[in-house]
Amino acid sequence: MSITVTTWSLEQTSPADLRPAAAPDGDVRIVRAEVPSPEFSRFLYSAVGGDITWVDRLSLSHGQWLEHLARPGVETWVAYDRGTPAGYVELDAQDDGVVEIVYFGLIPAFRGRRIGGHLLSYGVARAWDLAERWPGRAVTKRVWLHTCSLDGEFAMDNYLRRGFRLFDTEVSQQQEQPTPGPWPNAHHA
């Protein structure tokens, strides 16, 4: 069956655009996963996106994941709540000082606990200072992302509250995809 999907592209063009969220209560830490790990990245991808139709990377081989993650300027920042992975943001440095937030989200059990705004704020700040960690990369001039009507219900509001501005909207027809959950054939309550 075909469904209508709206995709919004948003951007920041200055570090001053970022409006950080307050840190949540409790022991929430954000750490960069510095060692490229296809297993860990695939876990984060499927655990965060399993209920919101993230399927584009599920068919990638181990080698394809590793090739992507090992590229200079690709970073994965993981939020931990009391030592348990709660969500992540993946950055991808592109040409001419552009950094894309390729993936961002929380594992369902951690949504609604004020972690998302904090993680997004932290990830955007890391996009703005990414060149400091990657010698030879251009200084960041623009941070951008896209979200769609299939994403979590609070995603767009979080992006706008962090200072992102809409620069493009596309409406398309897509084949409806089953939501795989965090692993194939999983049934969750």
Q: Give the residue extent of every domain in the chain.
A: 2-175
pLDDT of residue 1: 85
Burial of residue 188, with CB atoms counted within 10 A of its CB: 0-12 exposed, 13-18 middle, 19 or more buried = exposed
Type of residue at 151:
D
pLDDT of residue 53: 81
C-beta of residue 103 within 8 angstroms of C-beta of residue 55: no
The residue assigned the tokens 């939501």 is 179
Written out in words, the top-level CATH class of the domain with range 2-175 is: alpha beta
- Render each residue's pLDDT in the chain as its tens digit; 189 residues: 888 989 999 999 999 999 999 999 999 999 999 999 999 999 999 999 988 888 889 899 999 999 999 999 999 999 999 999 999 999 999 999 999 999 999 999 999 999 999 999 999 999 999 999 999 999 999 999 999 888 888 899 999 999 999 999 999 988 877 666 665 545 444
How far is it, in rounded angstroms, from Cα 56 to Cα 115?
25
